[in-house]
Amino acid sequence: TLVKFWEDHPDLKPTEDGYIEVNETMQTSVQGIFAAGAVRAGTTGQVITSAADGAQAALSAVKFLLGSA
């Protein structure tokens, strides 16, 4: 569930799904307000977090196998 703090901002208009539209620089429809990650429209949720966790786990496994953990 997304925290919808932007609902209190009268100029930010979320999509029907509750996400925030941004342009290619992550700028919202309100100058100076940017959105990134799971709150913005067109994202794939927590994929990057999972990828980062996977990378960390892989590095830890290599260190363990090499005996440097």
Instruction: Give Dmax (Cα) for the chain.
Output: 56
Cα dist from 14 to 8, 11, 18, 43, whole Å:
11, 10, 5, 14
Question: What is the mean pLDDT, run by run of 10 residues, along the chain of 69 residues?
Answer: 64 82 82 73 67 78 80
* Residue 10 and residue 28 in contact, taking contact as beta carbons nearer than 8 Å: no
With beta carbons less than 8 A apart as the criterion, state whether 62 and 53 touch. Answer: no
Q: What is the pLDDT of residue 1?
A: 43
Give the separation between CA 58 and CA 62, rounded to whole angstroms: 6
Question: Is the pTM value of this prediction over 0.75?
Answer: no
Residue 33's nearest CA partner among 4, 16, 12, 3 is 12
